[in-house]
Amino acid sequence: MLDLTKSRVLITGGAGFIGSALAWSLNQLGCDRIVITDFLETTEKWRNLTPLRFEDYLEADTLFDALPKLGDFQLILHMGACSSTTEHDAAYLIHNNYEFTKRLAAHALTTNTKFLYASSAATYGDGAAGMSDTDPALHRLRPLNMYGYSKHLFDLYAARHGLLDQITGLKFFNVYGPNENHKGEMRSLVNKAYTQILDTGEITLFKSHNPAYEDGKQQRDFLYIKDAVAMTLHLATTPKATGLFNIGSGTPHTWLDLANALFAALGKPPKIRFIDMPEALRPKYQYYTKADLTKLQATGYTTKITPLPTAIADYVQNYLATNHHLGDPIPSQP
């Protein structure tokens, strides 16, 4: 079993949302032998790094040249990717999300390094082919956007070349929580709606354009970031936990559930207004997602998922309201 307290870890996308949360969780466990790579660009992403302890940082486009000099790693957590579901530059997504992952996986296998990578629930598309993380169903999946397809391509590649019995892919569902401020329009609704409530006193939600769902009753599997990293590190330290795994709560909630929990965390009465969904988004919209966690639980994961209202209250009161990042001291509760 991999001992994280004695391991040296490479985290790609380590300044990003999930990557920096993984570094935070490793720090909590006593691991600071971490090398982080990312593209900081002109965003405020660097702020996620300031409370964290790690050995070194380098820009992602220098990683492969630097790898021979970086020394041995026991674990690679490959979270780096373009995560925009509205990105239209297919060549960029193929290079950044597919080719990069192929090269890094090959390096990990050559050096006998445990390799976990971020796939996505976006690979499931509209869910018509189910949302099972069992490998044989892969060929039936039809992602709805190029981002999802770029992730699906590597899942298919790994399956075709027999890699899924050696590496671990993580199909993240709707993850939300601290350290996502830099993501712009790709931030969670909790993050965006928090600002909207402070500015206008209300939340706007998309109307449903599917007769099977009432306005606000579209359902998603929302997962708090602290649960997502706990699941990820459990798989990293569990022998033979290879293949694809859903990383979600296993319980779908409506957008109204999310909005009402946010108003409750702020101590305000709900005020929700529905607006039309943009035409371009309608064919690509997921109305229902639910992670089947049977495979994850079969590895021995028994930690209770943080309930949606509890998670949102923690996010709002300890991070959004205080402008804190993971790793910053949290004020004592009264």
Q: What is the CATH number of the domain that holds 132?
A: 3.40.50.720
The single residue of 117, 147, 194, 315 carrying the catalytic annotation is 147
Percent of the chain past pLDDT 70, that is, above it, reads 99
Measured torsion, CA atoms of residues 272, 276, 278, 281, in degrees rounded to the nearest 10: 70
Burial 54-89 (b: 16+ CB within 10 A, else e): beebeebeebeeebeeeeebbbbbbbbbbbbbebee
| 207 catalytically annotated | no
Average pLDDT on 186-200 reads 95
Range of the domain at 16: 4-177+222-250+289-306
Which residue is associated with the tokens 């290879």?
A: 242
Contact yes or no for 22/79 (Cβ under 8 A): yes
Give the pLDDT mean for 13-37: 97
208 within domain boundaries:
no
* Tokens 């796939």, residue located: 119
Is 147 annotated as catalytic? Answer: yes
The answer to whether residue 188 is domain-embedded is: no
Residue 317 located in a structural domain: no
Q: Which of 74, 102, 78 is nearest to 2 (CA)?
A: 74
CB atoms within 10 A of CB 331: 10
Could you tell me which residue, 81 or 159, shows the higher pLDDT?
Answer: 159
Q: What is the dihedral of CA 139, 141, 145, 148, to 10 degrees?
A: -70
Tokens 């997602």 appear where? Answer: 289
Query: Domain count of the chain?
Result: 1
Strands 253-254 and 219-220: antiparallel
The answer, yes or no, to whether residue 31 has pLDDT greater than 80, is yes
Task: Please state, in angstroms and rounded to a whole number, the distance separating the CA atoms of residues 263 and 283.
Answer: 30
Give the separation between CA 174 and CA 123, rounded to whole angstroms. 13
Query: Confidence band (pLDDT; 50, 70, 90) for 332?
Result: low
- How much of the chain exceeds pLDDT 90, in percent? 85
Region 199-206 average pLDDT: 96
Residue 176 β-bridge partners: 224
Residue 233 makes CB contacts below 8 A (sequence gap 6+) with 4, 22, 25, 26, 29
Does residue 125 lie within any of the structural domains? Answer: yes
Q: Cβ(249)–Cβ(221) under 8 Å?
A: yes
Angstrom distance (rounded) from CA 172 to CA 133: 11
Assess whether pLDDT exceeds 80 at residue 13: yes
pLDDT tens for residues 71-108?
A: 999 999 999 987 777 777 888 898 889 999 999 999 99
Is 37 a domain residue?
yes
Catalytic residue among 57, 92, 183, 213: 183
Confidence (pLDDT) at 257: 97
Average pLDDT, the chain: 94
3 state SS of 8: coil
pLDDT at 334 over 80: no
Verdict on whether the full-model pTM lies above 0.85:
yes
In a domain, 217, yes or no: no
Do the domain assignments include residue 198? Answer: no
Q: How far apart are CA 64 and CA 66, in angstroms?
A: 5
- Is residue 21 domain-resident? yes
Say what the pLDDT of residue 90 is: 87
For 263-308, the pLDDT digits (tens) are 999 999 999 999 999 998 898 888 999 999 999 999 999 999 999 9
